Amino acid sequence: MLPESRAVHQALGGEMPAWLEEHAERARRELPMVRLLPSDRLRADVDDTVLAIRTRRLDHERKALSDELRTQADGGAAHDFARPLSQLAHRMGELDQLPPERERLGTR
């Protein structure tokens, strides 16, 4: 979770931190358009965005692990990547188990 998102969640019951005001203002400017969306469509769009972010993060992590494996192999150093690779595969498998309607993103 981004620091901005975490702080917004924490701030929901209280005062908005000054450093988040720029993000809050941008959200307020988009609010009229958001209100035009039916609530089920809004929820679907939010879910799609969350899925796209998760997919990009996992892909980035996969690439970073691959680069590290390549570096370790080139340098002759031994490192145990079994656990990080297993965790990554598990999280990618979770994305693969999503219902077909979540696959409309076209990112996988």
Q: Where are the domains of the chain?
A: 1-36, 38-108
Per-residue model confidence (pLDDT) at position 4: 61
User: Mind giving me the DSSP string for 38-90?
Assistant: -HHHHHHHHHHHHHHHHHHHHHHHHHHHHHHHHHHHHHT-----HHHHHHHHH
Assess contact for 62 and 92: CB atoms under 8 A. Answer: yes
Per-residue model confidence (pLDDT) at position 70: 78
The backbone torsions φ and ψ at residue 106, rounded to the nearest 5 degrees and listed phi first, read 75, 20
pTM reported for the whole predicted model: 0.49
Per-residue model confidence (pLDDT) at position 7: 64
pLDDT tens readout for residues 18-77: 887 888 888 888 888 888 888 888 888 888 888 888 889 888 888 888 888 777 777 665
Rounded to the nearest 10 degrees, how much is the dihedral formed by the CA atoms of 24, 27, 29, 34?
-150
Q: How far apart are CA 1 and CA 48, in angstroms?
A: 16
